[in-house]
Amino acid sequence: MNAAELTGRARTHVVELPEFAATLHVHASTAFESLHRAARSAGFELEIVSSFRDFDRQLAIWNGKFCGERPMFDASGQRIDVQALAAPQRIAAILRWSALPGASRHHWGTDLDLIDRNAVPAAYRPQLTSAEFGPDGPFALLSAWLEANASRFGYFRPFRGVRSGVQPEPWHFSFAPVSEFARRQLTVAVLREAIAAAPLLGKDEVLRGLAEHHARYVAMIDWP
């Protein structure tokens, strides 16, 4: 992948998959079709809640939270008053739930958020919470099945809350044969160039801490 693809500023590496209402890297898509078939044989209906997301979309989320237009919550689910926070605390609060634009693995088209549509009523809107994937949640069986089978199709969970600075995301899967290349190609310099050129709120503060951010949220991931 080139620098624009790695940071979500191009779509040349991804293809639309209308049957899954998703957009994925071409190699990840073939493997996903196999994973989907195997899951269906086991009684699950894999639904992709989120796949490729571009830089501008991530930027809109970031800026909306930074200026207080989008609600933000702390670890206990309490609403945060962003106006009361200085830039470094504001940035830390955003990063609890959202990736820095340019640093999201969803830019690569190799990563996707999954649920089991068979496990919930048709009108159910997935929240992507730990409770949904916990032992009493609707996606507990899917979670266990993916843990045992996803790796046969090249998929793994990069966010287990062990080494990665990202909180545990049991719904988030990544196609390792492509995403491992992308992770190594997305250097601090590539990320810096993308952010420096963008109308990002809090940019000076973000750029000051970029190397540390990169080490914690991009370079470091979890393996099974």
Question: Which residues of this protein are in contact with Zn ion, per CB under 5 A?
Answer: 113, 172
CB of 99 to Zn ion, least distance (A): 9
Give the Cα separation of 90 and 221 in Å (integer).
24
CB of 49 to Zn ion, least distance (A): 8
Cα 39 to chain center, whole Å? 21
Kindly tell me which of 172 and 183 has the beta carbon lying closer to Zn ion.
Answer: 172
Give the Cα separation of 40 and 163 in Å (integer).
32
CB of 20 to Zn ion, least distance (A): 15
Kindly tell me which of 68 and 137 has the beta carbon lying closer to Zn ion.
Answer: 137
CB of 172 to Zn ion, least distance (A): 4
Give the Cα separation of 111 and 108 in Å (integer).
7
Q: How far is CA 114 from CA 93, 127, 168, 203, in A?
A: 25, 11, 14, 32
Kindly tell me which of 62 and 82 has the beta carbon lying closer to Zn ion.
Answer: 62
Beta strands 46-50 and 111-116 are antiparallel
The Cβ-side half-sphere exposure at 140, using a 13 Å CA radius, reads 6
CB of 98 to Zn ion, least distance (A): 11
Kindly tell me which of 54 and 82 has the beta carbon lying closer to Zn ion.
Answer: 54
Q: Indicate the residue whose CB is closest to Zn ion.
A: 172
3-state secondary structure of 21: coil
Provide the Cα torsion 12, 17, 21, 23; round to 10°. Answer: -20
Kindly tell me which of 66 and 173 has the beta carbon lying closer to Zn ion.
Answer: 173
